[in-house]
Amino acid sequence: MSESRTMPLIEETGLTQGEVIALRESGLDNVVKASTSRSLIDIVRANVFTLFNGIIFAAMVMVLITGSWRDAVFGMIIIINTGIGICTELKAKRTLDKLSILVASDYLVHRDGKDVEIPHNDIVLGDFMWIRSGEQVPADAQIVHTWGLELDESMLTGESRTVRKGEGCDIFSGSTAISGMALVKVTAVGEHSYAAKLTARAKVYRKTVSDLNKGINTILKFMTFLVVPLCVLLIWSQVRTVGGWNVAISTGEWRSAVISAVAGVVGMIPEGLVLLTSLNFALAAIRLARKNTLVQELESVETLARVDCLNLDKTGTVTDGTIRLDSVELLDIRSSGIMRGNVNEHDVRQALFDLSNEGQPNGTGQAILSGLREQGFADGTVEARVPFSSARKWSSIYDGNAVWTMGAPEVILSQIDGDHADILKQVNDFANDGNRVLLVARIDGAAPDDYETNPKLNPASCPVALVCCSEHIRADAEETLAWFREQGVRCRVISGDNPVTVGAIARKVHLTGEHEPRFMDARELPADITELAQVLENVDVLGRVLPDQKKVIVEALHAGEHVVAMTGDGVNDALAIK
């Protein structure tokens, strides 16, 4: 442990060293036991002890008893078939075992009245811990004091917007601090934390159902009932031909009888079909691996081919997760005495750059800065600043001539004078096209004396521009979705974001071809699985979907006899994918 830099003064002294040692000895630290998706023994057992292997092995043993090992070479098919399955599943196991939601790093905790930096695993239950901007939350906790902490919970909820947390709020492992900081008290550690529970549930093994293998096993079961009595009958008939058991044993003819009987029986077993199936599965798995695709079981290749329903997450799948500046629309507000021609567009864009150029801008701010830098804008004059706050929903600067404000249009317009129905209509139109819309307002003159200490929006401010940003759609999204439609696969977008915004993005990538995609708020979905299955048949886009709902949606589609595939890039998708 190393003592860290000075942090804000607090009353709490934190845990003592003795308490920490006692908690650690009780197993109440943040160590997560390395769990495995499936043990080596389970993989070997599942691939060795199959009905096909049992039949071939029994036949091989009978031939070996006769001493004719050359005639038992057909048993090699067991090794080949079993080896293919074991090698493929072991590779998948090693990859899956590396699955982890939390990133190990050092954290600052308050113990014995001092701030000390400790490794991720040394955090214990009841620790007072600092969560600072840029850090991932390593354990579930409750906020004791906060200095503007805002969290990105998209990995947990799918909601791409940051969330401001107040005192007494619970925060969960796996989320990331975007701005501000807080002192929190740890309420769950190790395998009891939210992220660890999700990881454990994602690693649970479930056998893949293969219709092809089910059919082969049905044939083998039938053959088992047929082969055993047939083999006995063939041996008996061969022995009778040479004069009975006494003669067959004394002359050694029983060996030929057994070999002939086994040869006749083995020829009836579809060895080639079994081996060919395994080889084709293995070849498909190798080809998928070249595309960076993990095949956990050979049978899952067949399942992939049978998919008729694909659920897509928006962020990271249809879009690449980045935001870009699309346009800055100057407003024509006659009622406020400001005409479009009276507003200097360069000044508006410069103010927009300075408004976004905070210490740690969020994703939208970074997109605006990037877009305006490409247009040649750089740092301007800022004499005073009110940083963005999720509570206020706006930020502000004073450039020496005027006070500029940028933020959520509905919030700013509700606090300034005038009738702004036309502007709100424009905002809604832009939002319905999938844009994130911000409003820029201005008032000439000097900033108030308490401008930075007691920030308030001046009711006399005039709205001057709307800023439209959008998530960047992947270049191959439209082409890929068109290919799936040609293959008869029904695609749905399931996201934690606003359904209107997600619906607009689905429209841009032609999710449903020439038809308008039908969207719905997941909070309106029925709880009954049967009803949900019926509703989903008429829905293409779902927004505000919770992690558990994604899992239920997959179950409902299964109830509708669909073969479902699921994509996602966050913890909120893990259970549905599983």
Positions marked active-site = 313
Distance CA 371, CA 373 (A): 6
Backbone angles phi, psi at 527, to 5 degrees: -80, -30
Distance of CA 562 to the CA centre of its chain: 22
What single string gives the DSSP state of each residue in 214-269?
HHHHHHHHHHHHHHHHHHHHHHHHHHHHTTSHHHHHHHTHHHHHHHHHHHHHHTTS
Q: Which amino acid is at 165?
A: K
Nearest C-alpha neighbor of 3 from the set 128, 106, 115:
115
Sole residue written with tokens 């939210």: 194
Distance of CA 98 to the CA centre of its chain: 15
Nearest C-alpha neighbor of 518 from the set 497, 496, 543:
543
Supply the DSSP symbol for 489: P
Nearest C-alpha neighbor of 140 from the set 182, 171, 107, 165:
171
Q: In what order do the strands lie in the sheet with 319-330?
A: 319-330, 462-473, 436-444, 402-407, 394-398, 384-389
H helix runs in 16-75, sequence order: 17-25, 40-48, 51-65
Supply the DSSP symbol for 421: H
What single string gives the DSSP state of each residue in 161-184?
S-EE--TT-EE-TT-EEEEEEEEE
Distance of CA 99 to the CA centre of its chain: 12
Nearest C-alpha neighbor of 444 from the set 365, 358, 338:
338
Sole residue written with tokens 């091989």: 60
Three-class secondary structure of residue 507 per DSSP: helix
Here the tokens at position 18 are 């003795």
Distance CA 224, CA 217 (A): 10
- For 130, residues 6+ apart whose C-beta sits below 8 A from its C-beta are 7, 107, 108, 109, 110, 115, 181, 182, 183, 184
Beta strands (DSSP E) in 298-432 are: 309-312, 319-330, 384-389, 394-398, 402-407
Distance CA 214, CA 222 (A): 12
Here the tokens at position 375 are 């247009």
Distance CA 237, CA 230 (A): 10
Sole residue written with tokens 């860290």: 4
Dihedral of CA 248/251/254/257: which sign?
negative
